[in-house]
Structure 1
Amino acid sequence: MADPEKNGVDQIEAVPVDTGITRFEIDGDGLPPGYFRSAYFIGSMAAICLGFFGGVGGFALAAPILSAINEDIGPDPNIVWVALSFTLTSAVCITIVGRVSDIFGRRWVFIGGAICGVVGSIVCATAKDVTSLIAGTAIIGIAASTQLSYFYVMGELVPMKHRFAANSMVYFFQIPANALAPVISDSFIIYHPTVGWRGSYYLLVVVDSLALICWVLFYHPPTFHMKHRNESLLKYIKNFDYIGTTMYTGGLLILLMGLNWGGVSWPWSSARVIATIVVGFVTLVIFVLWETYMNLTEPLVPMVVFRNIPWNAATVLSGLGASIYYAFAIVWPQMVGTMYADTTSPIATAWLSSVSGLGWVFGVISGGLVARRVTHIKWQCVLAISLGGLFFGLVATCNPDTRSRACAFVAIGSCFVGWTESLAITAVTVTAYDQSELGSSGGVAGSIRYLITSIATTVYTVTLTNRQAQEIPPRVTSAVEAAGLPPSSVAAFIKALSGGASALDKVPGVTPRILAAGTRAYQEGNSSAFRTVFLSTIAFTGVALISALFLPDLEALMSNKVATTLGTEKASDSETESPRQ
């Protein structure tokens, strides 16, 4: 292989490093007639798409209704761990899944992930307390580490020139699982109270079960013996990087816990938060040194991937694009709840909360489908991320009286960022040096993506919390005192604002005039706080724009090569040279 430290298409296209693994790459024209219409190929695509639904829905369907869940089986202050357990387990496992499936074969790894999805969903659907729900969500997070690896599993099964379109098609399954998640989750509670919040998990049980059936029946990629011929399985088990895996798992887990705890569970200045962040970061540094300087036979993360500038650019761009979306998947519903909620129709408020997700999915699908037709993929990324950042920044001009404008800007901004993400996540696989080991590079990219998203979400959340503390109390105090509320009731009024109308009615001295004045001041204080958050997206957009400029000419890589072909699990050596007939 050419020098990986050189940046450019020629180096990416060069002959890969000899890893000792049998290669299953084939030109698309050499595939047997009807290959892409075969039950095995279509069934594998169904497994990927249904699995992606389950992986995304395991988080997105539960996040909007955690308060309702806590009211039913709580209250428990540990309810925040439901979301956190998903993030931690999926972020840590996605790199391990990629590397393990590269070495030992993907089939049973992804079947195992589907089983975890079914089991985790059943545990959550039948949970009697928050502790059980956390345990079930952790299992769902492990499953998601396989389910959210769709981009390289899908990518390696289709010709490189069709990867953008193929990956975008998977996102049709994100419409109900993510874009409409608030609507679906609230609908179970509002229209089917006997089922309630458990309906979301019943839905996941069905989807994950269908995915499991498809994985078992149709997904037959190269097995361990097909990949390694006469090599001993015990040899690879013995040489696996257990020490590096332990350091990576512990370091990333602790670091993410610190980032998620800060400002939520404990103050940023607390010893617990500082210690976890420092220990996690130092452990990851030691892990990198271990992987770099120890002569490992089977490293968890081949460090050569980081010498690939185009891959690094695509990975960072994907992470930043995802961070802008996922952060506002949290921020936007809060903005709707405090400034634009429809008190007469909870389902209408849920639809407003879905604006960001709908725009994102439309952008992801559109970007992938037209990428090859429009060409100049690199400059599409540059333009799309610039426009996405522009429209998110323009949301800062909105106030409690400009709901339509805010919805339009958020939808358009999400659409352009989704467009960027669609191209960037596929570019991660296209720019990888070794197309026979996409799991390793794709898994590392997935973990980096989670880390960037966690950092961005922390920045946005801390910014919002701090600005709300600065803006809301003085505005509300001034407004309600001017309207006639006794000074002794001001503190109680401010505390009751987050509890809704029923809590406000219990504050001594409250009148309709005071309530109207205080609510308006509360909305204006939130408007000022959210304005700062949306302006902060400019910095992340700038870094993403720089990353996009380092992308190569991706069109030159769009060959007709298929990286991995589906074959029989018990194929002989001669059969491994051709796909399943």
Structure 2
Amino acid sequence: MVAMFMSAVEATIVSTAMPSIVSELGGFSLYSWVFSSYLLMQVATILIYGKTADLFGRKPVFVTGVIIFLIGSLLCGFASTMKQLIVYRFIQGIGAGAVMPIATTIVGDIYTKEERASIQGYLSSVWGISAIVGPVLGGILVKYVSWVYVFWMNLPLGLLAIAGVVFFLHEDVQRKKHVIDYKGSILLVLSISAFMLVLVEGGVHWAWNSWQILTLLAIFLIGFVLWVREEKRTPEPMMPFNIWRYRAITVSNTASFTTGMILMGVSTFLPAFVQGVLEQSPMVAGFTLTTMSIGWPIASTIAGKMVVNVGYRKLTVAGACAIIIGSIIFILMSPDKGPVWPALGSLLVGAGMGLTTTSFIVSVQSTVDWNVRGVATASNMFMRTLGSAVGAALLGGLLNGRLQSFIEEKGLQGEITIETFNLLLDEQQRASLIESMKILLQDGLSIALNFVYWGVVIIAILTLFLVFFMPETEEQMERS
């Protein structure tokens, strides 16, 4: 729970602090890369951690991951440029790949199938606590101390999590010689990195038909094909494809990918709207995200208590509908509605996430045995985090592309760039703008973010389609 709290606080605090970080370090066009770099390494290592946890035990893998995460957190606080921060977030992401999946796997190990649903719901209360503590503390740190402490807060939490696992987790792991899938790991990192670069830079710094984009696409496709081939040949693959023969796992993982995209669309860009367009403080921006993290644990607890009687399909369909309604509210946001409107949208999206993610995790862990539970749980986390990474890159690309189009439509190519929108995210710099320029920039940012949230709605509708294929009961899961 301490590890989950650290991960949850990281998400809420960094999202809240990002406008202030960008205003100090510059680099608005790199905004999404602060999230994408973290998520890229997280998604590239999740399966490795999940597989090694099945081979060598949960404890050593968990401790190693948290230590790397803390090193990255420490370095992030020393960043003096946006590029440095992105590099340090890469390191942080390498460690983050172990935190949530291994913590969730440990829960699957120490509780019975009947207990798991309720316990997973209770664990989600951590997100509610972090939702209240994170944005408030993040806003206070940014306003009165420094944004560096949003990263350094992880240090005592991580050390406490390590101590708890080292002293209280006792596991009996069969010792034997294992084959580590190094080649598959390298191919996965290579292909996903190329794909991320395409999503972030395509149509912004490089034309979609440029040699850079075409080369990266070729690297992605070749790397992915070779990775799949390697996973089928190696004796102990980090992604055993036979677990995907279960419909519950296939649907859960695919829908986790789309909900991961939605999650980043909300948490990454909502603070930019609240601070840049609504002209609210970082603390208010944080509170609009808080409602999502409050709705999440409440719905997750309800799902944990109801999943056995109601069934997986009904709960996930209800969750997907809540996400769609919340996403539509984001499209309807405007300055005259104030911060209450985005907070309401966040609450509904959070409730939908709680209903779906709890059902997904419980169904995945109930489908497989201990010896593959780590990698099965990691596969679900992998797909959700991959979705978050792709979502941050894709939606960030949509934002930058729409801002560039706005500049060209207004004939302002020589006067402003995408970086000029940085000025809206800092109260003093915003106040120094000429009123006509401020309104112009706010119109551009509002239009671009509206474009992003239309993308979120489309992804939410796709999620609803996917969860209709979810098995209804345990018996159906076993048959499928």
- TM interval, short-chain normalised: 0.7 to 0.9
DSSP 3-state at the match of 1:62: helix
CA distance in 1, matches of 2:457, 2:26: 39
CA distance in 2, matches of 1:536, 1:320: 11
| Unaligned segments of structure 1, at least 5 residues | 1-48, 226-232, 478-487, 560-581
Change in Cα spacing, 1:173 to 1:270, as seen in structure 2 (3 Å) is farther
Which of 162, 166, 177 is residue 119 of structure 2 equivalent to?
166
| 1:405 and 2:355 matched | no
| 1:309 and 2:244 matched | no
Matched residue, 1:422: 358
Asked whether the equivalents of residues 399 and 448 of structure 2 are also in contact (C-alpha less than 8 Å), the reply is yes
Q: Aligned residues: percent identity?
A: 19
Q: Report the AA paired with residue 332 of structure 2.
A: T
Instruction: Tell me how far 1:129 sits from its aligned partner.
Output: 6.4
Question: More helix by proportion, 1 or 2?
Answer: 2
DSSP 3-state at the match of 1:323: helix
Query: How high is the TM-score relative to the length of structure 2?
Result: 0.85
CA distance in 2, matches of 1:493, 1:334: 17
Instruction: Tell me how far 1:132 sits from its aligned partner.
Output: 6.1
Q: Which structure would you say has the larger Rg?
A: 1
CA distance in 2, matches of 1:436, 1:396: 45
CA distance in 1, matches of 2:32, 2:47: 25
Instruction: Tell me how far 1:472 sits from its aligned partner.
Output: 7.0
Instruction: Tell me how far 1:242 sits from its aligned partner.
Output: 3.1
CA distance in 2, matches of 1:142, 1:327: 22
Asked whether the equivalents of residues 200 and 397 of structure 2 are also in contact (C-alpha less than 8 Å), the reply is no
Asked whether the equivalents of residues 176 and 184 of structure 1 are also in contact (C-alpha less than 8 Å), the reply is no
Query: How high is the TM-score relative to the length of structure 1?
Result: 0.71
Asked whether the equivalents of residues 314 and 551 of structure 1 are also in contact (C-alpha less than 8 Å), the reply is yes
Matched residue, 2:17: 65
Matched residue, 1:481: none
Matched residue, 2:170: 220
DSSP 3-state at the match of 1:340: coil
Instruction: Tell me how far 1:288 sits from its aligned partner.
Output: 1.0
| 1:326 and 2:227 matched | no
Matched residue, 1:281: 221
Change in Cα spacing, 1:242 to 1:398, as seen in structure 2 (3 Å) is closer
Correspondences of 1:449-460 after superposition (within 5 Å): 449-460=384-395
Which of 461, 467, 476 is residue 548 of structure 1 equivalent to?
467
Matched residue, 2:312: 377
Q: Deviations over 1:135-192 (max 9, x none)?
A: 543332222111110333212221112222222322332345466534322211223x
Which of 520, 537, 540 is residue 456 of structure 2 equivalent to?
537
DSSP 3-state at the match of 2:44: helix
Q: Report the AA paired with residue 218 of structure 2.
A: V
Change in Cα spacing, 1:439 to 1:122, as seen in structure 2 (3 Å) is same
Instruction: Tell me how far 1:525 sits from its aligned partner.
Output: 4.8
Change in Cα spacing, 1:356 to 1:331, as seen in structure 2 (3 Å) is farther
Instruction: Tell me how far 1:247 sits from its aligned partner.
Output: 2.1
Matched residue, 2:399: 464
| 1:186 and 2:139 matched | yes
Q: Which moved more, 1:120-129 or 1:197-206?
A: 120-129
Instruction: Tell me how far 1:69 sits from its aligned partner.
Output: 4.4
Instruction: Tell me how far 1:91 sits from its aligned partner.
Output: 0.9
Instruction: Tell me how far 1:81 sits from its aligned partner.
Output: 5.3
Q: Report the AA paired with residue 420 of structure 1.
A: T
Change in Cα spacing, 1:269 to 1:68, as seen in structure 2 (3 Å) is farther
Correspondences of 1:60-459 after superposition (within 5 Å): 60-66=12-18, 68-69=20-21, 82-125=34-77, 133-134=85-86, 136-149=88-101, 150-175=103-128, 177=130, 181-191=134-144, 193=145, 196-225=146-175, 233=176, 235-236=177-178, 239-263=179-203, 266-292=206-232, 294=233, 296-342=234-280, 345-363=281-299, 365-372=300-307, 375-403=310-338, 404-431=340-367, 433-459=368-394
Instruction: Tell me how far 1:128 sits from its aligned partner.
Output: 6.3
Q: Report the AA paired with residue 108 of structure 2.
A: G
Asked whether the equivalents of residues 88 and 257 of structure 1 are also in contact (C-alpha less than 8 Å), the reply is no
Change in Cα spacing, 1:139 to 1:215, as seen in structure 2 (3 Å) is farther
Q: Report the AA paired with residue 157 of structure 2.
A: V
CA distance in 1, matches of 2:413, 2:378: 54
Change in Cα spacing, 1:438 to 1:94, as seen in structure 2 (3 Å) is same
Change in Cα spacing, 1:211 to 1:558, as seen in structure 2 (3 Å) is farther
Correspondences of 1:29-40 after superposition (within 5 Å): none
CA distance in 2, matches of 1:264, 1:152: 40
Asked whether the equivalents of residues 183 and 354 of structure 1 are also in contact (C-alpha less than 8 Å), the reply is no
| Unaligned segments of structure 2, at least 5 residues | none
Instruction: Tell me how far 1:256 sits from its aligned partner.
Output: 3.0
Q: Deviations over 1:212-271 (max 9, x none)?
A: 10111011222233xxxxxxx3x32xx333333332333233333433443566554443
Q: Report the AA paired with residue 534 of structure 1.
A: Y
Q: Deviations over 1:19-41 (max 9, x none)?
A: xxxxxxxxxxxxxxxxxxxxxxx
CA distance in 2, matches of 1:76, 1:520: 18
CA distance in 1, matches of 2:24, 2:404: 30
CA distance in 1, matches of 2:391, 2:72: 28
Instruction: Tell me how far 1:321 sits from its aligned partner.
Output: 1.8
CA distance in 1, matches of 2:452, 2:23: 30
Q: Report the AA paired with residue 272 of structure 1.
A: Q
Asked whether the equivalents of residues 399 and 449 of structure 2 are also in contact (C-alpha less than 8 Å), the reply is yes
CA distance in 1, matches of 2:443, 2:263: 24
CA distance in 1, matches of 2:10, 2:155: 10
Asked whether the equivalents of residues 277 and 446 of structure 2 are also in contact (C-alpha less than 8 Å), the reply is yes
Q: Report the AA paired with residue 148 of structure 1.
A: M
CA distance in 2, matches of 1:470, 1:129: 27
Asked whether the equivalents of residues 330 and 450 of structure 2 are also in contact (C-alpha less than 8 Å), the reply is yes
Change in Cα spacing, 1:415 to 1:133, as seen in structure 2 (3 Å) is same
Change in Cα spacing, 1:139 to 1:520, as seen in structure 2 (3 Å) is closer
Q: Report the AA paired with residue 330 of structure 1.
A: T
Q: Which moved more, 1:532-541 or 1:542-551?
A: 532-541
Change in Cα spacing, 1:216 to 1:552, as seen in structure 2 (3 Å) is same
Instruction: Tell me how far 1:382 sits from its aligned partner.
Output: 1.0
